[in-house]
Amino acid sequence: MLPFLADLVLLIHALFVLYVIAGFAAILLGWYLHWRWIRNWWFRTIHLAAIGFVMAEAWLGLVCPLTVLENLLRTAAGDAPYSLPFFQHWVHEFLFYDFPNWVFTFAYTAFAIMILLSWLMVPPNRRQKD
């Protein structure tokens, strides 16, 4: 059961990352194509908060709670935990290269600034118009 729960946390973590990245792409594409839903206040607020949380973790030198939970579950199940935080682990898996932590902090900060700029350029609507 513990390996299943660890895999479930991994899936949730991957969906979180997908939400942040794909959400930003959708905002830009929706701005260009005049999609109204990308101005949804809740979507945009949660999206901005998500990247803000990631950026704050990076600046404070914290490990993501989802990574910690997954590692605890894997260790309790007798599996090996990640030796790197979640995103660095998967970048390493795909690129076979370890970047220093400051590279990730810079990338998260730059991405957060781009999302904040999208908030200003394509502001959300507090009330949806029918």
Domain for residue 16, yes or no? yes
Low-confidence ranges of the chain (pLDDT < 70): 84, 87-88, 91-92, 94-97, 128-130
Q: What was the pLDDT predicted at 89?
A: 72
Domain for residue 129, yes or no? no
Domains of the chain: total: 1
Domain for residue 12, yes or no? yes
By C-alpha distance, which of 1, 17, 22, 24 is closest to 86?
17
Model confidence, pTM: 0.83
Structural domain boundaries enclosing 54: 2-121
Domain for residue 127, yes or no? no
Domain for residue 48, yes or no? yes
Domain for residue 126, yes or no? no
